[in-house]
Amino acid sequence: MKLTRLSRCCPRAALLSLCLLPTSQLLAQELELPSQDIVAAPVVDDDGYQARRSSTASKTSVALKDEAQSVQVVTPQTIEDFQVRSLDDAMKFVSGVSQSNTLGSTKDAFIKRGFGTNSDGSILRDGIRSNLSKNFTATSERVEVLKGPAALLYGAMDPGGLINVISKLPQYQQRTTLSGSLFSEGGGSLSLDTTGPLGDSGLAYRLITERQHEDYWRNYGSHEQVLIAPSLTWTGERASLTLAYEYNDYSAPFDRGTVFSDGHPAADDYAKRLDERWAETRGIAESARAVFEYQLNDDWKTRFTHAWNNDTYGLSIAQPVANSLNATTGTFRRVGNGAHYDDETRYSSLDFIGQQRLFGQRHDLLIGVEHELNDQYRGKTYRNLASMRRDISIHDPVYGNLPEPSVVSATQSNRRNELTSNSIYLKDNWHLDERWILVLGGRYQHYDQYIAQGLGASRSELYSKNDQTLIPFTGLVYKASEALSLYGNYSRSFVPNTSVTDSGQTFDPEEGRSYEVGAKYDLRPGLSLNLALFDIVKENVVVGSGDDIEAAGKVGSRGVELDLAGQIAERWALIATYAYTHTEVLDDPANEGNRLAQAPRHTGSLYLTHDLPIDEQLGHWRIGGGARYVGERTGDNADSFRLDSYTLADAFIRWEYPLLGQQTALQLNLDNIFDKHYYPSTTGSELNVSVGQPRTARLSASITF
């Protein structure tokens, strides 16, 4: 199979074109609003490593202490200090989140409170469910992680939580940053981030571009990326409009990792791949959104959001054949597989956000309706014949003998998994008095799901069902003092079941319920401590095969999470996390009593930064470092093998100086300082175990004017 960069035309072009039109004139005519001088700055939600507010739990900016849920934030300062380049990097600073099956390192995939896959819909871009393979780019400003069920505002999703990547927006203060990086593996990146006002029109723009080439750290392959992301904001007296578009042309190795035998790594060389040079992914990821807000009066505003994201890509895989490892000779068998994909999300919502006083008590209200289409499509699917399989040695791999994917599978091609949802939701933060907040919410969702696959006569409908569900939420916040807030909540989740028996029987959605209590405490100004205890059960999990399928499965997760972040002294800042997560299969004929796959029982991290007391004439110097621990995990549902625990240490040093009147920065980051060999996740097979990146260095420079 020959992979080519894929693209297609669609109505999104109209959205992008709006960014290039004289939008201010059009809006002024329609809204008849007076012009005004704009001197705006972004709302300050973060102070260094400490976050004060979040928009994920309520779809509008709310103080974290007023939320009856656990929300952790990876702040812009954290992203800058540790040169975060992926969601994997970002999750080092959040408790209870670890890597799941990344499909050969091509997709974001995380375990949250014991639950998660690479296609569970739990990753959002600016509050919209994302179908993109990778979601952290140069446009990402911060990352918010909502723990526990999030179905109230976001619909069908596993009960572990969600990850929301917040994008950079246009600003009304002129600022341009040029930056570049060099990687120890070879290659580097160049980027531009420019923003500012367009005269006195009320318009502000932002343009972010990046070109990246990075040699893969294993013995062959490279990462390539071209990113272009324009955005435009108009602000009037009562109204505002933001248009944003992102284009990402990318390629990356499809690395199936290494091989385990008897529960231990079997390959001789950590750095040598066990696939082929043609094993890679190539694609184009795009996203666009339009957000219009109108201030109805002093207490209420309305917001209309229309968004779209799409990932069109191809995969070529040197797929290991199950149970093919010969422990004596050290060889296993592979086959060339692959497919073309077109994954898309279309989203529209209308929200009313405001305050209402009833009987002297304040209600912070969110009322909304939304429509969402989630379409995952796999076109031509290649499954090479058994006669085209070839062996490879895990001790001395020789490449070039395995044919590329070329045989189209009629039965597995043209697979479409389409979920269409229409929902109404309500959330009320009811301030009973100055200390007590009662949080009530509910969501009604009607959905249609359709699954079919096959070419021509092989085409068959696998699943077709429509249903509706009602999701309740209740929580309570007690603000014991300005520094301490206590909370508890009860919530539910659901995920449509796609299993079908041989006789055509379908099943009700998987349902989850969660109890959580916690505390949010400011140990001192600028230093926050968050504690959460939770208990989650997911029921109606389908088990069995053929006509022996039944929706009888039940799994559970309970534990404690601790997050500490902020300023501990005048020149010292800290991020510390710990999570204990006990997972268990509660009802399953085959795996009852087992832990959930890839869910570590213990995780933790500790990072410190220090601003050096050096003469200002020598510039501002900042150093930092720390380590992250991930405990032992089961490699599959049957607990047939396990992945060892690991600890990774990172460090950085940063220098800033107003060189020639322009703010200049130079930074060196070292990751995995002690060159630890580790294995972060698996596909559920000993023949597909991902390998962690060794010691790496990145030298970055930037100038801002």
Model pLDDT for residues 490-518, shown as the tens digit of each residue: 999 999 887 777 666 778 889 999 999 99
Task: Tell me the pLDDT band of 437, cut-offs 50, 70 and 90.
Answer: very high
CB distance 635 to 643 below 8 Å: yes
Confidence band of 616 (pLDDT split at 50, 70, 90): confident
- Paired sense of beta strands 97-99 and 110-112, if any: antiparallel
459 C-beta neighbours (distance < 10 Å), count: 13
Residue type, 445: Q
Looking at residue 633, the DSSP 8-state letter turns out to be E
**pLDDT band at 2, cuts 50/70/90?**
very low
Coil, strand or helix: which one is 165? strand
Q: Which two tokens stand for residue 384?
A: 């090479």
Q: Which single residue is written with the structure tokens 């020149």?
A: 571
Q: What is the pLDDT of residue 617?
A: 87
What pLDDT was estimated at residue 642? 95
* Dist CA 78 CA 142 (whole Å): 9
pLDDT, residue 16, reads 40
Residue 37 pLDDT grade (very low, low, confident, very high; cuts 50, 70, 90)? very low
Separation CA 471–CA 559 (nearest Å)? 23
CA 472 to chain centre: 25
Residue with tokens 């020639």: 660
Collapsing DSSP to helix, strand or coil, 507 comes out as coil
Buried b / exposed e over 617-629, threshold 16 CB at 10 Å, is eebeebbbbbbbb
Question: Which residue did the predictor score with more confidence, 42 or 371?
Answer: 371
The residues, any chain, with a CB within 8 Å of residue 30's CB and separated by 6 or more, are none
How many angstroms separate the CA atoms of 255 and 593, rounded? Answer: 32
Neighbours of 112 (CB within 10 A): 27
CB atoms within 10 A of CB 466: 10
pLDDT of res. 660: 83
The rounded percent of the chain whose pLDDT value lies above 70 is 91
Give the pLDDT score at 502.
Answer: 63
| Model pTM score | 0.92
At 462-483, the pLDDT tens digits run 889 899 999 999 999 999 999 9
Examine the pLDDT at 21 and tell me if it is beyond 80: no
Q: For residue 441, what are its two tokens?
A: 């919410």
Q: What is the pLDDT of residue 242?
A: 98
Calculate mean pLDDT across residues 406-428.
96
Strand segments, DSSP code E, in 384-414 are: 390-393
* Residue 77 dihedral angles phi and psi, to the nearest 5°: -65, -40
Residue position matching structure tokens 């917040």: 166
Confidence of residue 60 (pLDDT cuts 50, 70, 90): very high
- Report the pLDDT value the prediction gives residue 321, as an integer from 0 to 100: 95
**Residues 6+ positions from 619 with CB-CB distance below 8 Å:** 655, 656, 657
Helices (H), 171-237: none
Q: What angle do CA 159, 165, 171 make, to 5 degrees?
A: 150
User: Phi/psi at 695 (nearest 5 deg)?
Assistant: -60, 130
Average pLDDT on 627-631 reads: 98
What pLDDT does 12 receive? 45
Q: Residue written as tokens 């390998």?
A: 691
Residue type, 170: P
**Residue closest to 261 by CA, chosen among 641, 600, 692, 636:** 641
Closest CA to 196 of 160, 233, 143: 233
pLDDT score at 588: 86
pLDDT digits (tens, 9 = 90+) for 297-334: 999 999 999 999 999 999 999 999 999 999 899 999 99
Mean pLDDT of 444-466: 93
pLDDT for residue 116: 92
Is residue 204's pLDDT more than 60? yes
3-state SS, 508-562, equals CCEEEEEEEEEEEEEEECCEEEEEEEEEEEEEEEEECCHHHCEEEEEEEEEEEEE
Mean pLDDT, the chain, as a whole number?
A: 91
